[in-house]
Every structure is written in C-alpha cells, then in structure tokens.
Amino acid sequence: MNSENKIIDVVVIGGGPAGLMAAQVASDAGLTVHLYDAMPSVGRKFLLAGKGGLNLTHSEGADTFAGRFGARREAISALLQDFDSGAVCAWAQGLGVETFVGSSGRVFPKDMKAAPLLRAWLHRLRHPATGAGVQFHMRHRWTGWAESAARSAPAHQSLCFDTPQGPVQVQARAVVLALGGGSWARLGSNGAWVPLLAQKGVAVAPLLPANCGFDVKGGWSAFFAEKFAGQPFKSVAMALTTAQGQTFQRKGEFVATATGVEGSLVYAASSLLRDDIIRTGSATFHLDLLPDLSAEKVLAEVSHPRGTRSLSSHLKSRLHLDGIKSALLHELLPKAVFENPAQLAAAIKALPITLQAARPLDEAISTAGGVLFEVLSPQLMLEALPGVFCAGEMLDWEAPTGGYLLTACFASGHKAGQGVVNFLSKNRL
C-alpha cells in the first residue's frame, strides 16, 4: 500500500455540498485541506438536483423553516444559527451568483442552473484570495482506517483509500466525513460507510428512503398502469392520520407511476407514510379530487339529473372530472358506488388510497437515518473518535424538498468546518 508520510491538517471525504462547505471553512482558516471522493468529479448529486432548477433554500421565517425538520428540529436549528437561508444567499452572491425568491418562497439562482455555481465554488476553493487552496483527489474510495489506528484515536487519523493505482494510505490531523446517505448510488451516495463507522462503535440509525414514491396495495390494474403511469394529479388534496395520531393535510400535485404514486405532494407526506408502513404494514391517505369545491356542492352536482348522458359525461360536464381523476375512481371503487350519488360524492372528496411499500432506497430523493446526533458534539465531532467530524446527509435527519435539504447540508458542513478549526487550534501537533 502506498503511504503518504506527510500529515495533512484536514482530510474531507465526500465532495457534495456538505464536504465542499467544510473544506471551504477549514481552508479559509489557513489549514491545509485535501478532499477525497470516490467519483471522477465532485458535486454530482448537486448537479442533478439543479437539473430542473436549483432550489438552494427557502425564504420562510426561521421558526417555520426549522419546523420542516420534524423530530430533528432542535439539532438542525443549532446548525442554522451559524449558516441559515440568508447565509446561503450571501454565500452564493459572494461567488457571483445572484438569487431570487420564487412565487412559492423557494430561492433559486437567477439562471436556475447548478453548474455555474459549482464551477465558481470550485474555482474559489482551488484558487482562494489567500492560502494554498483545497487539493482534490478523485477516484479515491474510502475503505476505513488503517488497522494500526487505535480505537481511542491516535495523534492523527490513518485513512485508507482504494484508487485506480492501488491502495493508498493518508495521514490527517482531523477528518470530515461527508459521505451522503444511501440514495442515488450511481452518483456516489451508497451508504457503504455505515459498517465502517459501526466497527468503530458509532451509533447509526438505519438508512431509509425519504422524499420517495410508494407502491399501492395490490398494484394498479394493467389498464391503469399502461394508460396513466407518468400522468399528474393536479389540484388535489391529501389528508391522512397515522397510527400514532399524526395528521397531514395539504393541497398540491403528484404523479401516478406504474406501481403507485410519487411527486411533491407524496414526498411532503413521505415520512409519515413510510413510518406507518413500517409500524403496521400499510398506510392509507384520503385524496380529495376536487378540493376547491365543498362536499355539499359535489353531492349536488353528482345528484343532478343526467338524463340520457353517461355517468362519465355527467361528471365531466358538471364537475370537470375526467381523465386520470375519473379513471382513478373506476380503478378503486366497486361498481355499486357509482349507482349511489351520496357514496360517489363522498369518494370524490375523500378517496382512500392504501400503500404497501416505499420505493427502494436508491430511488429516493434523499435519505432518513444516519449518524445519531446523540453521539456527536455540538460541533459535529464523533465522541468516540476525537478529530473525526460528520456532516451532510449521513447525519440522522430528513426534510421535505423545497431547499431545506441543501440548506441543512451547507449548514452542517459549515459547522463541521468550524469544529475542525477549533479542534486543531486546541490540539495543534
């Protein structure tokens, strides 16, 4: 195994937003920083996130923003104190990228693109106004610590990497792990770090899909799947109450898939749906196909005499209910319901849809679970491994889409970078 005798101040493992931010903070403090990533280039998931318009953060108030992180609200709030949504915008502006607030409150670069921002960021990291800049090492897959590294943490960390040229060993005074979650393995986030940390006694919650799609119980019929997979349900509302008594109600959109449902409205409720399936084996939500109309109005229109018109024509004429919405009613309801106006009207306003499984982890937008905050210091250093910090999606938190994921990754990377600077200032070797 090739070994680098020189001891590096800081090794960052993982080239996503959290790792890059940690590298920036440490480098700006005058430390020698080397960043390692298993992929041929950094920021691959970041670039994918910007494919339809890079949603950097959200402009809503701090209290509402922190509430998006559910059970981890307190932990993420502590990170946001130093690097919140305003800091994200200021950071982007410092890279020459102007931002704007969209109609939904989401914040985007003015050109909507991720690539120019990433290029500007990498240029800043490689060529800072002062200092040597961050050195990047691609196609270096971290495989853990050298066997000689003591569990109680030696004076420095001895890290092992597999490379196209063979195994390499690197020495570092401090390490930031920013290895991502378990979704989108082809972009580098494959969760392979979990057993490496478990071997060191680090507590890790199981990685689970977040912001994910689901399979409906029993599957769609062949007709429905073939004709409507990929089509959206627009202007609908979802309501659910979990087995634990948690409630969710929101208007929005989602999409039918070949096996079930996915899309923004489903993602917003995905943690509740997923956890209900884990607890009870299934989860049911109720879909209001016409949320802008009252139940009384729907019943009146359904009950209106239709003469010789078919029921489908009647619903289309009176309620503008057709296409995928009409097909869903026929997919899920017994024929007898269509002969009973009261039952049909009730189903249009609250159609039960039962889900049996979340889609596989690798298909999810993001990941729940990860390194527990309870085994980390306030500056995200592992209590069991002094000098080793964790950041980004490998931490045990989750959030809906809307800029929250990226902001928390930036904030955790910033906090870990600050932690490294403080650690090395107190433990200069």
User: What is the mean pLDDT of each successive set of 10 residues along the chain, which is 429 residues long?
Assistant: 78 98 97 97 91 92 94 96 97 97 95 95 93 94 80 72 96 97 89 96 96 97 97 97 94 97 96 96 98 97 91 92 96 95 97 98 94 98 97 96 95 98 87
Q: Residue 190 is which amino acid?
A: N
Instruction: Encode 198-234: b = buried (16+ Cβ within 10 Å), e = exposed.
Output: eebebebeebbbbbbbbbbeeebeeebbeebeeeebe
Length of the chain: 429
- 17 and 189 in contact (C-beta within 8 Å)? no
Cα distance between residue 421 and residue 9, in whole Å: 10
Residue carrying structure tokens 């689970």: 208
Q: Residue 86 is which amino acid?
A: G
Residue carrying structure tokens 């409906």: 216
Task: For the chain, list the domains and their CATH numbers.
Answer: 2-208+367-426 (3.50.50.60), 214-358 (no CATH)
What is the model's pLDDT at position 4? 60
Quick one: which of 95, 108, 130, 14 has its CA closest to 56? 108
| CA dihedral sign of residues 394, 87, 129, 417 | negative
Cα distance between residue 315 and residue 344, in whole Å: 11
The dihedral region occupied by 52, where left means phi > 0, alpha psi between -120 and 50, and beta the remainder, is alpha
| Predicted model pTM | 0.92
Contacts by 127-132 with C-beta closer than 8 Å and gap 24+? 128/27, 128/28, 131/27, 131/28, 131/30, 132/27, 132/32
What is the model's pLDDT at position 148? 59
Question: How is 73-99 classified by DSSP, letter by letter?
Answer: HHHHHHHHTTS-HHHHHHHHHHTT--E
Query: From start to end of 166-222, where are the E strands?
Result: 166-177, 204-210, 214-216
Beta strand pairing status for 166-177 and 247-256?
unpaired
What is the model's pLDDT at position 147? 76
Distances (CA, A) of 418 to 83, 122, 178, 408, 415: 11, 19, 14, 15, 5
Helix axes 85-94, 404-426, angle to 10 degrees: 80
Cα distance between residue 63 and residue 244, in whole Å: 24
